[in-house]
């Protein structure tokens, strides 16, 4: 019979590995993305605000990851991804996720 503590340790190891990959993919997106700011100053301002929020969520994710709080780290990185994807869907960013096309 597997000890409950052992299951928790295995879950933490899996979460740590997945979050580490997710953080690395997101870091690559920030490094390699191309920004296409809209001509409209109000929309351009919204793009910059959303990018700022995405970066803050990314930094928060790394902070919580380092503290071993994998649930909060995952929530933060998911918010970051959502903001980046929304901006990409509006045509303001161009990038590829490292995990796209992978099973």
Largest interatomic CA distance in the chain: 63
10-63 pLDDT, tens digit per residue, is 578 888 999 999 999 999 999 999 999 999 999 999 999 999 999 999 999 999
Alpha helices of 33-100 — where are they, by DSSP H?
41-66, 70-89
Least Cα distance to 58 among 94, 98, 15, 29 occurs for 29
Instruction: Please report, for residues 24, 74, 82, 100, the alpha-carbon distance to residue 103 in angstroms, rounded to integers and kept in the order given.
Output: 18, 20, 20, 8
| Entry pTM | 0.83
Query: Which domains are delineated in the chain?
Result: 4-94 (1.20.1270.90)
């Amino acid at each position: 019979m597997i000890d409950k503590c052992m299951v928790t340790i295995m879950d933490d190891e899996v979460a740590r590995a997945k979050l580490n990959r997710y953080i690395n993919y997101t870091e690559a997106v920030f490094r390699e993305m191309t920004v296409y700011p809209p001509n409209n100053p109000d929309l351009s301002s919204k793009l910059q605000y959303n990018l700022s929020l995405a970066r803050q969520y990314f930094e928060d994710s790394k902070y919580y990851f380092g503290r071993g709080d994998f649930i909060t780290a995952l929530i933060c990185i998911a918010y970051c991804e959502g903001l980046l994807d929304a901006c990409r869907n509006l045509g303001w960013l161009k990038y590829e996720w490292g995990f796209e096309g992978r099973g």
